[in-house]
Every structure is written in C-alpha cells, then in structure tokens.
Amino acid sequence: MDRGTVLAGAIAPALLMALPAAADPLVWGFQAEQNEYRVTDGDNVYAWDFDAFIGTDEARFVWRSEGEYAFGEDAFETLENQARVQVPISDFWDAVAGVRLDTPSGPDRVFGVIGLHGLAPQFIETDIDFFIADDPAFRFEIEYEGLITNRIILTPSFELDLPFTDDEEIGLGGFGPSMELGLRLSYDLVDRAIAPYVGVHYERSFGESSLLAQREGENPGAVFFVVGARLQF
C-alpha cells in the first residue's frame, strides 16, 4: 500500500462526516464532457471523461472516469477511475479528496487525490489535482463553454499532466509534461441531456515523457478528429 492510498483513506471518511444527518435532499447527476470516437491516421480511439455524482449542498461523492480505448491494439491506453469527495470551501470552489485507480492495459497505479474543483473568473471550469503516490503527479484542467448561439456551443479545453518522478514502466518522465488541447463544437439536441459534437483533439508529451514515447516508437504528438456526444442527465 502506498502513501497516497493511506492519505486518501484518512481524508475521505473525515469529509464524509461533513455530510448532514438527513437535512438536505440528495441530488445526483451524470455529466460526460467527452464521449467520443477519435480518428487519426494511426490507431482510432474511443474516449470518455465523465463525472457521476450524488450528494447534498454540503458534500458530493463523485465517480470520475476517464479512458481511451485503442481499437487497433484492442487495449485501454488509459483507464482511470477516481472516487472523489467534493466539499464547498467558497462560493465557487470545492475542495476535493479521493482515490485514483489506473487500470489500463499494462501496469496499474493507485494514487491519493487532493485538489480543487470549481469555476474560475470568466466562467472557466477548473480542476487542479495533486495525485499522491510513490510517483506523484499534478494535473490542471480547464474548459470554457463559448456560446455561438444558446444551443451551438464551442468548447475549448486544456489539460496538463505533470509527473514529478520518472515512472518509466508507464512511460512518464519526471517533469516531462503531457498536454491535451481540445476544441469541440456541440449542439444541444435534447435540452442539455444530449449534445452531439465534432471537434479536434491534440495530444503531446514533452521532455522526458516525450523521449520515452519516441524510444517506444510512438509519436509524442498526435492530432485527432473527434465525433461524439456530450451527455448530462
């Protein structure tokens, strides 16, 4: 058992204590920001990124799942599930604690999670997470919904992953960041429940991570054309 798990294990129950006895009604929901087929000249990929939550105004339990399944390899390039507890700490920000479990095709990893989730000024949806383990990492994600019309929405997004140590087994070099840039154009077809979209998705790794990828014979950068549907219910 690594430090992260221990830490998360200690924090999560403390946060759950903040849940009120029976005062607030429970709310729940499901939001998939990415649910898409990525086409490139290499291996095509199905990818998702969703939050399912249940909770109250005081605390929400969130199951966050992200994954990329490569059809050519018949393998999960990434498969990451987090159990997170979010507790409001200000009008627009939640503190986050939880556990992250990576179970892709290949070696598994477990992290404790401490982070912030919220809405930054100018309506920028923001996640800042520290992943605590023997090989700790940092992640910064932002997203903005630009309204072309009230139903046609252009969503730029940016994600930065920064490992703090070398974890060569899974292709990460210390302080060699990887980055994702996305631009998705969606249309709210059914309320906000189903919003089909098209877009581009660009991934690239830098530094040590980039070198590791090249050594494996992979391209450190790739552009995808994506088609998918945002879901919210």
Chain positions contacting other proteins, by CB under 8 A: 20, 23-25, 27-29, 31, 57, 88, 90-92, 119, 121-123, 146-151, 191-192, 232
Q: Are 30 and 50 in contact (CB under 8 A)?
A: yes
Q: Is 78 exposed, middle or buried (0-12, 13-18, 19+ CB in 10 A)?
A: middle
Rg (CA), the chain: 18
**Comparison of 20 and 107: residue with beta carbon closer to other proteins:** 20
CB of 164 to other proteins, least distance (A): 32
Tell me which H or E stretch contains 11. helix 3-17
CB of 145 to other proteins, least distance (A): 9
**Comparison of 1 and 147: residue with beta carbon closer to other proteins:** 147
Q: Are 43 and 73 in contact (CB under 8 A)?
A: yes
Q: Are 134 and 146 in contact (CB under 8 A)?
A: no
CB of 120 to other proteins, least distance (A): 8
**Comparison of 88 and 221: residue with beta carbon closer to other proteins:** 88
**Comparison of 41 and 122: residue with beta carbon closer to other proteins:** 122
Phi, psi angles (nearest 5°) of residue 221 = -130, 145
**Comparison of 46 and 63: residue with beta carbon closer to other proteins:** 63
CB of 190 to other proteins, least distance (A): 11
Cα dihedral value 144, 93, 62, 55, nearest 10 = -120
**What pairing do the DSSP bridges indicate for beta strands 221-232 and 27-39?**
antiparallel
CB of 196 to other proteins, least distance (A): 18
Distances (CA, A) of 144 to 45, 153, 184, 223: 24, 10, 10, 20
**Comparison of 94 and 161: residue with beta carbon closer to other proteins:** 94
CB of 231 to other proteins, least distance (A): 12
